[in-house]
Structure formats: structure tokens, C-alpha cells
Amino acid sequence: MKSAFLMRKGVKTSIDSLREHVRDSLLDQESRMERAAMRPDEAASCRWVGFGLGKGVTSVNRDISVFGVPGKMGSGWHAELVKDFPEVDPSPLCYEPHHTKGFADFARWVYFANPAGTGDFIGVDFGLKERPTAGVAETMYRVAQVAKACLRHGLPGETELVMLHPRMVELPELTQLRQSLGLNRVADWAANGDRLFAPLTGTRCPACGLNTRGPEYRFCYRCDHEFLRAVA
Ligand SMILES: [Zn+2]
């Protein structure tokens, strides 16, 4: 079974690899990260202003990624990507905090394609307080699993992977944490995510990624995440 799909004109087709399509947004003038839609302070430091904007979803358990270029339809596109799969809510319910099934186990992401050529980004929606079915990676461990799945589905490993805030920027503290851990490219996340964040054996908090683990702690004192323990 194929694992990567392209959504175009309302139709999903199976593709060999995400690689051939993640920069399709550059063919569509409507799909850009617009400076005018951003907070001025964030636009000033954001490295993907003006980049082409494509959107994807990945389910680690189903081993599926779906990608497409939203065009004029900016918001709500992620719901289009998942709507034919079982166990998801229709739009707009899937986006609501009180959703029933939400996005199920799909995590949403955005691919920012650099018109200048190289230096693309994938931004995985991230939020520690989100429900697991919100379509948002609620732990850094899940971000790493999404990175691995995207690599399997053909996303270029050299793409920088950032953790995306709903305003489509990465908060500075997350950029710093990521860089301090050497988590720059998709390939870095895939290679090191388990060592750092695995629920039983990782060295960091699986959720917030901080250095809060110790044998004496049951919970992360920064984000309240409950640590799993091996049963003796
Ligand atoms: Zn934590």
C-alpha cells in the first residue's frame, strides 16, 4: 500500500514520494506566507515570510501522509486533507476544542518552500496543552515520530523542521531549545528524537523537551507531563 498522497482539485491520488510535490506551492501565486497577515515583530524575524505554502497531515499509526497546496482556500485545508479517512470529524468541528474525533491521530504541518531554491522548512503544529486528537503534536516525542514518518514518505531529510505556533511562527524559546539539542533538519529529529524523548528511555521530558527527568520525579515540573516508568 502506498503511504503518500497528493490532494489536488478535491481528489486524493497516491504518489511515490512527497519529494516531487512539496514545492508545488511555488507554482501557485495564491499560496504564500503573507507578511501582511503576520504580527510585524514576528514577520521581522520569521525566516519563511514570502515562501510558498503547502499543507500536509501525517498519521504515524496509519503510516500515511497527505499533502496539497491550498491555493485561495487558506484556512480549513487541513480538514480537506483528512476528510475521507475514518474516525475524523468534519470541518469546522475537527478544529473545535470540544471536537469528538477531531483529526484523530493525524498531525498537521505546513511546508514552506523557498522561492530562492534551497532552504525550505516544515512546520509541525505543536502545542503542549492540546488534546492528542486536535491535529497538533502535543509532545516533542510525537514531532519526532512525525518526522520519521515524513522521511519514509519521501520528505527531503535536509528540510529544517520547526515547531509551529497557531500564528505560523516558531516561538523563540522553542527555536533555541531545538537548536541546543541539534534538532535542525527532519533527519536530525528522526535520528535523535527517540534517544531524547522516548517515554521510557529518553533523557528529556517527552512533551516539553526540557531537562526535567530524574528518578525522583513522576511529573515534569515545567509542563506537568507524567513520566512513564518501566515496571520492575
Ligand atoms: Zn515537560
Longest dimension (CA), the chain: 58
How many Å lie between the centroid of ligand 1 and the Cα of residue 181? 15
How many Å lie between the centroid of ligand 1 and the Cα of residue 115? 36
How many Å lie between the centroid of ligand 1 and the Cα of residue 140? 9
Contacts of 58 (CB under 8 A, 6+ apart): 64, 65, 106, 107, 109, 146, 149, 150, 153
How many Å lie between the centroid of ligand 1 and the Cα of residue 201? 15
How many Å lie between the centroid of ligand 1 and the Cα of residue 193? 15
The pLDDT value given to residue 1: 61
Mean pLDDT computed over 16-29: 95
pLDDT at 201 over 80: yes
pLDDT at 216 over 90: no
Q: How far is residue 160's CA from residue 206's CA, in Å, rounded to a whole number?
A: 20
How many Å lie between the centroid of ligand 1 and the Cα of residue 156? 29
How many Å lie between the centroid of ligand 1 and the Cα of residue 2? 35
Lookup: cell for 124: 509541525
Mean pLDDT computed over 166-173: 96
Give, as one character, the DSSP assignment of residue 225. Answer: P
Q: Where are the alpha helices (DSSP H) in 68-166?
A: 77-82, 140-152
SS3 70: coil
How many Å lie between the centroid of ligand 1 and the Cα of residue 174? 13
Q: Indicate the burial class of 191 (C-beta count within 10 angstroms; 0-12, 13-18, 19 or more).
A: middle
Phi-psi region of 176 (alpha: psi -120 to 50; beta: other; left: phi over 0): alpha
pLDDT at 73 over 70: no
Task: Give the chain's mean pLDDT.
Answer: 94
How many Å lie between the centroid of ligand 1 and the Cα of residue 190? 20
Q: How far is residue 177's CA from residue 154's CA, in Å, rounded to a whole number?
A: 26
Q: What is the pLDDT of residues 76-87, one digit of tens each?
A: 899 999 998 999
How many Å lie between the centroid of ligand 1 and the Cα of residue 14? 37
How many Å lie between the centroid of ligand 1 and the Cα of residue 227? 9
How many Å lie between the centroid of ligand 1 and the Cα of residue 60? 22
The pLDDT value given to residue 74: 67
Q: How far is residue 209's CA from residue 192's CA, in Å, rounded to a whole number?
A: 12
**What pTM was estimated for this model as a whole?**
0.96
Strands 121-125 and 160-164: parallel
Q: Which amino acid would we find at residue 186?
A: V
SS3 12: strand
Q: How far is residue 83's CA from residue 56's CA, in Å, rounded to a whole number?
A: 13
How many Å lie between the centroid of ligand 1 and the Cα of residue 128? 9
Dihedral of the alpha carbons of 159, 44, 134, 214, in degrees to the nearest 10: 70
pLDDT-derived band at 229 (thresholds 50, 70, 90) equals confident
The pLDDT value given to residue 8: 92
The pLDDT value given to residue 230: 72
Q: How far is residue 201's CA from residue 94's CA, in Å, rounded to a whole number?
A: 33
What sign does the dihedral 218-175-168-106 (CA atoms) show? negative
Q: How far is residue 51's CA from residue 120's CA, in Å, rounded to a whole number?
A: 8
Beta bridge partners of 31: none
How many Å lie between the centroid of ligand 1 and the Cα of residue 139? 9
How many Å lie between the centroid of ligand 1 and the Cα of residue 216? 15
How many Å lie between the centroid of ligand 1 and the Cα of residue 182? 18
Q: What is the pLDDT of residues 136-155, one digit of tens each?
A: 999 999 999 999 999 999 99
pLDDT-derived band at 232 (thresholds 50, 70, 90) equals low
